[in-house]
Structure 1
Amino acid sequence: MPTLPPGPAALDRRDWIAGLERGLAIIECFDGEHPRMTASEVGLRCGMTRTAARRYLLTLQHIGHVAGDGKLFWLTPRVLRLGQSYLESARLPRVVQPFLQRVAAGTHETAYLSVLDGDEVVFIARNGPNRSMNTGYVLGARAPAQLTASGLLMLALRPQDETEHWLATRELVVFTSHTIASKERMALEFARIRAQGWALSEQQLDLNSRGIAVPLRDRHGTLVGALNVTMPMGHESSEDAVARVLPVLRETAQAMRNLI
């Protein structure tokens, strides 16, 4: 019998539906480097046989989440309904919109709410001017956590033993000449963020991007996400950007605390 995968909570074997897990794994195996794949390629990426992968793909094709030409398969826009269901059903993205508007108006930058999902941050709400993709994120976008201000913040504010375990078990991939690639330097960055309570990330993922983030906590003090802005580099110094943006972010995060 298959072994239950590790998860955030224990699950009785009789309650585990392996087919559901595998079907979702097939959807998630498509990405920018693998937009169209054969059943064999999908099976290889998902750890299953070509025959099993093909059956899942044909089922997903039947319900409209996948399309194919007899050889290659690819995702359809219907998959977006999965993410849209979260955005429409979750309370947090709706509650924060007026506050993100306040941040955007007060800073003239794009404001975001992001949450941590594994090793990635997901931007679940946004407000502000539209800029080119290299200085901002679309709603629902993901990014490696350690390369963004909000991700660095949420990683650093975990219990210290969790942060140390994360750092010990990850490889730091370099994206730009400014990416933090040393685990020793990353540990110092986490300590600095914990001490000051906010995060600044510059040119980590994109050479023209700067981000500033503060924690968003609920009325019980539990960290539920990060409130952040992104802006282009070059218009002002780091110190001036922080002085201009950080007070607005902090004031807004405090105002939201009793509402979430």
Structure 2
Amino acid sequence: MTKDILDKSSDRAQSLYKGLVVLQCFSEGHATMTLSEVADTVGMNRATTRRFLLTLVDLGYLSLEGKRYTLTPKVMTLGYNYLSNLPWWQLANPVAEEISRHLSESCSIGVLSRDQLIFVARAQGPRALTINLSPGRVVPVHTAGIGRVLLADLNEDEQRQFFERNPPTGLTPYTVTEVPKIREALVEIKKQGYAIVDQELEVGLLAIAVPVRDSRGKAVAAIGISTQAQRRTKDELVNDLLPVLKDGASRISQLI
């Protein structure tokens, strides 16, 4: 990722790019890292990496204890600033919570930001799932129901470019990684108006999602239900959950 950034033309602020790459390398499973670990992850030398790390400490986004750097709660302000500028999000969150209560399942809302699927709202159901899909979480787009719905709304050229930039990788034995098969599924998703993903993000996780469209008909977000595969069948997702999801998506669309 760093090399791609550094290959950009000279009119880019490469120092800003590098600093953000350093910040983004702190993720789930890597919440605390040493200078050497960060340098190896981002592919920069230790001296340069150290300058960026110390700058982020000064700005309050990282803390330094001994030799380990750790994210601070201040990074949450970046996500909040984004969400606070989405007027519809404040009104959409209660819709997700209502759907979750009604179906006794976990409900999420996600958006496609460049090539990343980012969850912006989450209503946890009464049964906890092993995977964490809380706001701010990023997962591979092609492995999630919400991601599939948003990919299906792209035109053929946009889809082709997306998969060229992001070759699919397998997370479970069930993850589809062949681009032609994924694109064939996207055609069907576009036609039927919803996506079902069966254990492609995590074994035992079954999901269904529908698009949330703006006044121009563009899918600006998607809302979905995640459940345990042993609790629900695909037919139950379509017959019992889909109508409720579609109603919720329609209500959110009216707020945009």
Query: TM-score, normalised to structure 1's length?
Result: 0.85
Deviates more, 1:43-52 or 1:178-187: 43-52
Structure 2 counterpart SS, 1:207? coil
Number of the residue aligned with 1:162: 158
1:212 aligns with 2:208: yes
Structure 2 counterpart SS, 1:259? coil
* 1:195-248 superposed Cα distances (whole Å, 9 cap, x missing partner): 212100111111221111111011121221001111111123211221101111
Number of the residue aligned with 1:250: 246
1:55 aligns with 2:51: yes
- Structure 1 residue 72, shift from structure 2 partner: 3.3
Number of the residue aligned with 1:75: 71
- What runs of 5+ residues in structure 1 fail to find an aligned partner? 7-11
Q: Report the AA paired with residue 199 of structure 1.
A: A
Number of the residue aligned with 1:9: none
Report matched runs for 1:1-260 at 5 Å. Answer: 5=8, 13=11, 16-134=12-130, 137-260=133-256
- What runs of 5+ residues in structure 2 fail to find an aligned partner? none
Pairwise CA RMSD: 2.5
CA distance 1:103–1:36, shift in 2 (3 Å)? closer
CA distance 1:106–1:33, shift in 2 (3 Å)? closer
Cα contact 1:153–1:215 (8 A) shared by 2: yes
- Structure 1 residue 83, shift from structure 2 partner: 1.8
Cα contact 1:134–1:208 (8 A) shared by 2: no
CA distance 1:190–1:50, shift in 2 (3 Å)? same
Supply the distance in 2 between the matched residues of 1:197 and 1:111 (Cα, whole angstroms): 18
- Structure 1 residue 154, shift from structure 2 partner: 0.7
Aligned length: 252
- Structure 1 residue 191, shift from structure 2 partner: 1.6
Q: Percent identity?
A: 29
- Structure 1 residue 55, shift from structure 2 partner: 1.5
Query: TM-score, normalised to structure 2's length?
Result: 0.86
* 1:134-179 superposed Cα distances (whole Å, 9 cap, x missing partner): 2662222221111110001111210111112323443321121211
Supply the distance in 2 between the matched residues of 1:234 and 1:80 (Cα, whole angstroms): 35
Structure 1 counterpart SS, 2:130? helix
